[in-house]
Chain A
Amino acid sequence: MLLLVLILIPFIGCIRAALQPSSERSREAWLAAAVGLIGLAILAFQFPQISQGEVLRYQIDWMPAYGLNLVLRMDGLAWLFSLLIVGIFLLVVLYARYYMSPQDPVPRFYAFLLAFMGAMLGVVLSGNLVQLVLFWELTSLSSFLLIGYWHHRSDARRGARMAFTVTASGGLCLLAGVLMLGHVAGSYDLDVVLAAGDTLRAHAWYRPVLLLIALGALTKSAQFPFHFWLPHAMAAPTPVSAYLHSATMVKAGIFLLMRLWPVLSGTPEWTWLIGGAGVATLMLASFIAIFQHDLKGLLAYSTISHLGLITALLGMGTPLAMVAAIFHTLNHATFKASLFMAAGIIDHESGTRDMRQLRGLRHLMPITATLAIVASAAMAGVPFLNGFLSKEMFFAETLLVGSSSNYWMAFAAVVMGIFSVAYSLRFIYVFFGRPASDLPRTPHEPPRWMRFPVEVLVVLCLAVGMMPALSVGPLLQLGAQAVLGEQLPHYDLAVWHGVNLPLVMSFITLTGGVLLYAVLRRRFNLAQSSRPPLLHRINGQRLYESLMLGLRSGASQLEKLLGTRRLQPQLVLLVSVCLAAGVAAAISLPSVWTAAHSTPLDLPFALLWLLGCVCAVAAAWQAKYHRLSALALAGGAGLVVCLTFLLLSAPDLALTQLMVETVTTVLILLGLRWLPPRQPQLAPSPRSARTARLRRSRDLLLAILSGLAMAAISYLVLMLPAAPGISQFFLEQAVPQGGGTNVVNVLLVDFRGFDTLGEISVLAIVALTVYGLLRRFRPAAESMALPPQQTNPADPAARQIPEEQVNGGYLLVPGVYLRVLLPMIMVCALYFFMRGHNMPGGGFVAGLLFSVGIILQYLLAGTQWVESRMHLHPHRWLALGLLAALATGAGAVLAGYPFLTSHTAHLELPLFGMLHVPSAFVFDLGVFGVVVGATLLILTALAHQSSRAHRLAHANDDTPHQEEP
């Protein structure tokens, strides 16, 4: 339970901090400090149990079926790391209290810092590997936010993005690795996994698992070749650098390698991968560090190099190396955090971190200078300081691993040592010499409590360096025991081991380092802006930036290549893919060519369809330049379709198709006025003509192929015997149960009335959409002018308004016919409606017929005249129709039957005898209403556009004449 508190309080603190007003300063720091103190208290409380070798566990079930639970598990290693995390957090909070500027919105800073601490504690306390990854990514995230804290600076943004990209990618690899590891081990639970080392090492997946987990660890710990993000992360405020980039976050990778050391290590692959990366990093980074000019840059590379050292130790795979690794982790955290803070103080006080400017700070801030010098000495590995001890252990191990025949590791260690002495000297040099006069600010000692954390850490360095067994001994024991268990080797934490080879190596590094620095110093002074020799070409950051840029542009290129934003290619693809899918499905089966039955060829029918086909092809051919012809030709094809329906026993379809044909023609004609005139283009360039030809050939081929496919599958269907399906039921039950002899109509309004309800909804929706669209329709400028027919003086009707035309003009006579026709059409519509249930007809046909009658009046006398005399309210027709259909269904529900259950009312009327009124009749009435409403709404909305143009045209009478199409 305490474990849960330990994990939760930072997050609670984070939320609390985030809710503070942004001007708040001290209270934030106190809040953070309180969190840190509580954590420390909990850790102290748990020490007795941990030191007994107990493993504390606390489990909350999260996704037990998937083996993912929140398991908090504290052993010695976790305790040690927790101590590190919480302890340094406290110091950093204290330091930050004075470091952050009054303008900085500190609540955000502390919130992020607390979140980070929580995430970090989560990593070290995870008893489940997936949970570890979860917190791992949270550390990446919170570090991203912390690095980008000063987000108005582009270096902060870039540094944050880079750090996050690299570490989050590593995290994803880690997740994959952990999942595979869990699969091999049979569980994600750490205890189970730790026990499955032998299984894993023998498993075929060992290498991928190792690689993926190593990728996670190496990216996080900024190991070569992923080291480049860390120097850029220095854009973060210094407390962040001190906390994340020296003591904690970068140690998460190290922690992971330690945690999984029992499972993963002990193989040549481990040594080569981890050890190799470590050695490469320590050499490279320590070398580059010498040539930095930025204090924090130097410290960053130094950090990388020390992390490389620890990684190299872990890569060695021996238990003693493990102990050394843990020891150096602690040491590095203390001296590096203090150095970062010192650098921050210098920056804070002098206004710069450029070592080329900083001189003689010893005179201006003597205490700070002393502290920094001691910490640097620890970093350089000077005896009686903690760095010396762990480095010596490192040297000893390199000798041990390399054995007598192979000294390359020892050699690398010595070289690294020389470099680190050199850069430590370079760091120290800022305190010596004559004070610089050209600094942005005149530095002096920082506030008392700002220096306090540095003092604490330096005291720790000294304490460990002088009395290791007393100070750090128990802690180290605790950590090493947790990892190594039975394998815990004997080691001796003493300042003096006598004169041995490691001591000689230490001596060489110290003198070598001083010499190297002396040699190089002149060069620094000569070439202030020199880049690190040899290695400046290996620029991870450049590589990263160009990779990101390349990714973006490459992806965008590829996306353009593999995708399109134009319609035609999409349709080509759609049709081709469908064709391919159909053909693939069809040919994957054995051929079936057993003709079942066929109707004898009928010459008239063939002739009819010859016409239909000719019309269709001609419509396709004419549609570009001769719209009217194309429309007429498509109408011809439609007529043949109607006749086919009629001929093949589908009178209902024929009637409906006939009406739809008419309405569609009127509709498209209404739209034609707003389309631009199209003249054949003159002489395109030969190249574009060729591509156009190619494209047309491709489309033609595709069209022919899809036509062939449709023809083939149609023929196949017709040759196969019909499956005994549901249709017999309808034919048999239409009269007894549906109460109508027209089976199609009974299907539409009863058996499958729900489909029809949906279908009229579609109609209603489209009508509403069309109405909405047309209300805000703005025609193109050139089609606003009146059509040439209406402005040409040759026609006496040219400037007559529709009303004049029909009541005295050329439409006088046609008007008489159409006005006589209207009531007749209405009666016919009613007729088709009433008989629909028993004979061809029904709501659709009737509705369309009725609408056609009304539209004829519009056509004759114009919108204004008709609407001034008749209020149609198509919206109401539409809504009431839909409601009527719904009400029919709801009536059944009220009667206790399912929705849309049909009933027949049997009315005994005096004169007429028995009348059977099926409820489907009301439903069909709804259909009728919707069809009328929708059709009228669409057509009149379109028609209104013309009258609008007319009003505009009459407003300015001298509209330019337009060429007749």
Chain B
Amino acid sequence: MEAVIALSIGVLFASGVWLILRPRTFQVIIGLLLISYAVNLFIFIMGRLSVNQPPLALQAGTDTNLFADPVTQALVLTAIVIGFATTALYLVLLLTSRGLSGTDHVDGREPSA
């Protein structure tokens, strides 16, 4: 399980990195999306893996060692929302850039040959 998730984070991150290095804005936004998946998962697993132990302290006095780490979850939640916001911002920015420059190249101008 650990190896699977570690590899998956690697693949997500690698795909994202590949995309943000591409010249078109749409590629970059998808890349940022994938990177944020990878990073969110990464933060998440810093609390280690636990299956079916959601941090819901339904009864007081339950053995707290049984629960998944709530801190990383709270952090990821914040990161998800901020990631969403920045994706939206970048999207609108790339549209604006495209509107003003007529190109969807990340530099706002087509590379000179």
Contact = CB atoms under 8 A, between A and B. Distances in A.
Interface of A: 565-568, 571-572, 575, 598-602, 605-606, 609, 612-613, 616-617, 619-620, 623-624, 627, 630-631, 634, 637-638, 641, 644-645, 647-653, 656-657, 660, 663-664, 667-668, 671-672, 674-676, 678, 685, 688, 699-700, 702-704, 706-712, 714-715, 717-719, 722, 725-728, 730-732, 734-736, 741-744, 747-748, 752, 755-756, 759-760, 762-763, 766-767, 769-770, 773-774, 777-781, 783, 838-840, 844, 931, 934, 938, 941-942
Contacts of B68: 648-650
A615 to B, nearest CB: 9
Contact of B45 (A619, A656, A678, A717): A717
B99 A779 contact: yes
10 contacts: A575-B17, A600-B1, A602-B4, A620-B34, A624-B22, A718-B48, A731-B70, A734-B57, A770-B88, A774-B96
A571 B84 contact: no
Nearest to A755: B78
B40 to A, nearest CB: 7
Contacts of B88: 664, 667, 766-767, 770, 938
Contacts of A565: 107
A613 B94 contact: no
Contacts, number: 325
B5 A657 contact: no
Contacts of B53: 649
Interface in B71-86: 71, 73-74, 76-78, 80-86
Contacts of A767: 85, 88
Given A648-B49, A734-B57, A759-B81, 12 more contacts: A609-B8, A612-B12, A619-B30, A645-B44, A648-B44, A648-B45, A648-B51, A711-B10, A734-B70, A744-B77, A781-B102, A934-B85
Contacts of A649: 50-55, 67-68
Contacts of B26: 623-624, 627, 630, 672, 675
Contacts of B60: 735-736
Given A671-B92, A780-B102, A641 B41 contact: yes
Question: What 3 A-B pairs are tightest by C-beta distance, nearest first?
Answer: A707-B14, A711-B10, A731-B64
B65 to A, nearest CB: 8
Contacts of A651: 54
A634 B55 contact: no
Contacts of A620: 15-16, 18-19, 30-31, 34
B17 A770 contact: no
Contacts of B30: 619-620, 623, 630-631, 634
Most buried by B among A623, A704, A762: A623
Contacts of B20: 571
Interface string B86-113: 1111011111101110111011000101
B27 A744 contact: no
Contacts of B84: 660, 663-664, 763
Contacts of B45: 648, 714, 717-718
B contacts with A: majority SS: helix
A657 to B, nearest CB: 6
A777 B91 CA distance: 13
A773 B93 contact: yes
A631 B19 CA distance: 13
A770 B96 CA distance: 10
Contacts of B44: 645, 648, 650, 653
A599 B9 CA distance: 17
Contact of B77 (A600, A648, A652, A731): A652
B113 A688 contact: yes
Interface residues of B, number: 91
Nearest to B101: A780
A235 B39 CA distance: 65
B57 A699 contact: no
Contact of A671 (B2, B13, B19, B94): B94
B10 A744 contact: no
Nearest to A649: B68
B98 A743 contact: no
A712 B34 CA distance: 18
Contacts of B65: 728
Nearest to A569: B21
Contacts of A656: 77, 80-81
A631 B85 CA distance: 17
A648 to B, nearest CB: 6
A425 B104 CA distance: 75
Given A571-B20, A777-B96, A653 B10 contact: no
Contact of B73 (A653, A667, A759, A931): A653
Given A599-B49, A641-B40, A714 B9 contact: yes
B95 A777 contact: yes
A657 B70 contact: no
B80 A660 contact: yes
Contact of B89 (A634, A657, A769): A769
Nearest to A651: B54
Given A566-B107, A671-B91, A743-B67, A722 B99 contact: no
A36 to B, nearest CB: 61
Nearest to B60: A735
A741 B73 contact: no
A752 B70 CA distance: 11
Contacts of A678: 24, 104
B2 A568 contact: no
A741 B42 contact: no
A744 B11 contact: no
Contact of B85 (A606, A609, A763, A783): A763
B18 A744 contact: no
B46 to A, nearest CB: 6
Given A649-B52, A942-B92, A612 B8 contact: yes
B11 A616 contact: yes
B15 A780 contact: no
A731 B70 CA distance: 7
A297 B71 CA distance: 79
B77 A748 contact: yes
A653 B80 contact: yes
Contacts of A779: 95, 98-99
Contacts of A760: 81
B81 A601 contact: no
A605 B1 contact: yes
B61 to A, nearest CB: 9
Nearest to A565: B107
Nearest to A731: B64
Nearest to B26: A627
B87 A664 contact: yes
A389 B57 CA distance: 104
A627 B22 CA distance: 14
B76 to A, nearest CB: 5
A601 B17 CA distance: 28
Contacts of B76: 645, 650, 653
A732 B49 CA distance: 20
Contacts of A769: 89, 92
Contacts of A641: 37, 40-41
Contacts of A566: 107, 111
B71 A747 contact: yes
A600 B4 CA distance: 11
Nearest to B69: A727
Contacts of A699: 18, 21-22
A780 B86 CA distance: 23
